[in-house]
């Protein structure tokens, strides 16, 4: 009888642990500054965008809630290791990150391109027009925009600002200055189509040598837990590709209030 009671108690304990695991929130790092993939809406205190919708649906399929943890591009690696289970939103797969983390399947393909004001697009007919001493290339600190600019620009001044939003604040503040930002075509597509935008989408068709196609992914810590999480997400993605496409198109149509950011010059 005692043995039977012990077995029952053990079974109840395991069931309790299992239920806790399912209820334990999925901790998600995201920058919230990269519409249409991730955006933090300070007015509603909520995150929006394609990556946000996708990770919420995935978590729901596992019986888990999502706890979003705001990070920045310079702090992303540190925060993923120390605070989060997974990172989402505008993350580019690259060799440096591969040493530390595991990646999901590619959710979107992408390339770098220049974004400038509509007033200035007439000055930039080729990459050589950008790499001139009278041009300033402005990039956010961290992420992949900064190293891309530094590896391609040799004559123009490169200015690094604290955040993605700060870079756009400068582009909008000085539409008549020869300012250029290299960023993802995905972001240019969104930024140039914003209501009242003064930014040009001409860069989407711009030719840049040594500009490989990259992949936007979700990223988790190496180790059994992270690998299992990515495997489960990939399986979910394969089963719901049509929904993922729908979520992306809807994200493009959303209106994202601009984050208040100041240009540091």
Question: What is the DSSP secondary-structure string of 146-167?
Answer: HHHHHHH-SSSEEEEESSHHHH
pLDDT at res. 20: 42
Q: Where are the alpha helices (DSSP H) in the chain?
A: 2-23, 50-61, 76-83, 95-98, 127-130, 145-152, 164-173, 185-193, 224-239, 241-253
Can you give the pTM of this predicted structure?
A: 0.77
User: Is residue 199 domain-resident?
Assistant: yes
Residue 43 lies in a domain: yes
Residue 16: pLDDT over 60: no
Contacts of 150 (CB under 8 A, 6+ apart): 158
What digits encode the pLDDT tens for the residues 88-127?
999 999 999 999 999 999 999 999 999 999 999 999 999 9
pLDDT value at residue 10:
45
Host domain of residue 48: 23-109+214-253
pLDDT averaged over every residue in the chain: 91
**Residue 31 above 70 pLDDT?**
yes
Q: With contact defined as beta carbons under 8 Å apart, do 170 and 263 qualify?
A: yes
Using a pLDDT cut of 70, give the percent of the chain over it. 91
The residues that bridge with 101 in the sheet, in sequence order, are 221
Percentage of the chain beyond pLDDT 90 is 81
For residue 259, being part of any structural domain is answered with no
**30 lies in some domain:** yes
pLDDT at 23 (0 to 100)? 65
Helix, strand, coil abundance in the chain, percent, nearest 5 = 45, 25, 35
Q: Report the pLDDT value the prediction gives residue 22, as an integer from 0 to 100.
A: 54
Instruction: Please name which of 148, 183, 190 lies closest in space to residue 166, comparing C-alpha atoms.
Output: 183
pLDDT reading at 51 higher than 60 = yes
Res. 9: pLDDT tops 80: no
Instruction: Give yes or no for a contact between 111 and 152, defined as CB atoms under 8 angstroms apart.
Output: no
**Do 74 and 41 reside in the same domain of the chain?**
yes
Say yes or no: 79 and 133 in one domain. no
123 and 186 assigned to the same domain: yes
| Number of domain units in the chain | 2
195 has a pLDDT exceeding 90: no
| 16 within a domain of the structure (yes/no) | no
10 belongs to a structural domain: no
Q: ω before 66 within 30° of 0 (cis)?
A: no
Whether 231 and 180 map to the same domain: the answer is no
Domain boundary among 168, 185, 205: 205
Average pLDDT over residues 51-74: 97
Average pLDDT over residues 191-200: 91
Q: Specify the pLDDT at position 193.
A: 86
Calpha distance 137→135 (Å, rounded): 7
CATH number at residue 60: 3.40.190.10
Q: Higher model confidence: residue 56 or residue 22?
A: 56
Omega of the bond prior to 77 within 30 degrees of 0, cis? Answer: no
Euclidean distance between the first and the last CA atom of the chain, given in angstroms as a whole number:
78
């Amino acid at each position: 009888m005692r043995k039977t009671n012990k077995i029952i108690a053990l079974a109840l304990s395991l069931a309790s642990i299992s239920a806790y695991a399912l209820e334990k929130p999925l901790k998600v790092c995201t920058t919230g500054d990269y519409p249409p993939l991730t955006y933090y809406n300070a007015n509603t205190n909520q995150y929006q965008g394609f990556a946000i919708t996708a990770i919420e649906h995935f978590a729901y399929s596992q019986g888990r809630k999502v706890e979003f943890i705001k990070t920045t591009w310079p702090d992303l690696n540190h925060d993923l290791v120390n605070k989060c289970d997974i990172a989402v939103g505008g993350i580019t797969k690259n060799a440096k990150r591969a040493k530390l983390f595991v990646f999901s399947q590619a959710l979107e393909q992408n390339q770098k391109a220049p974004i400038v004001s509509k007033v200035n697009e007439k000055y930039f007919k080729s990459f050589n027009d950008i790499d001139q001493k009278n041009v300033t290339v402005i990039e956010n600190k961290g992420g992949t925009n900064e190293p891309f600019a530094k590896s391609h620009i040799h004559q123009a001044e490169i200015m690094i600002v604290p955040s993605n939003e700060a870079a756009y604040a400068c582009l909008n503040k000085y539409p008549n200055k020869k300012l250029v930002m290299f960023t993802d075509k995905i972001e240019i597509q969104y930024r140039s189509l914003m209501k009242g935008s003064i930014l040009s989408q001409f860069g989407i068709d711009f030719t840049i040598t040594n500009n490989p196609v990259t992949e936007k992914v979700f990223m988790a810590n190496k180790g059994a837990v992270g690998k299992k999480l990515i495997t489960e997400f990939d399986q979910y993605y394969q089963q719901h590709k049509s929904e993922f496409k729908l979520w992306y198109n809807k994200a493009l149509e959303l209106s994202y209030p601009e984050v208040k950011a100041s240009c540091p010059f």
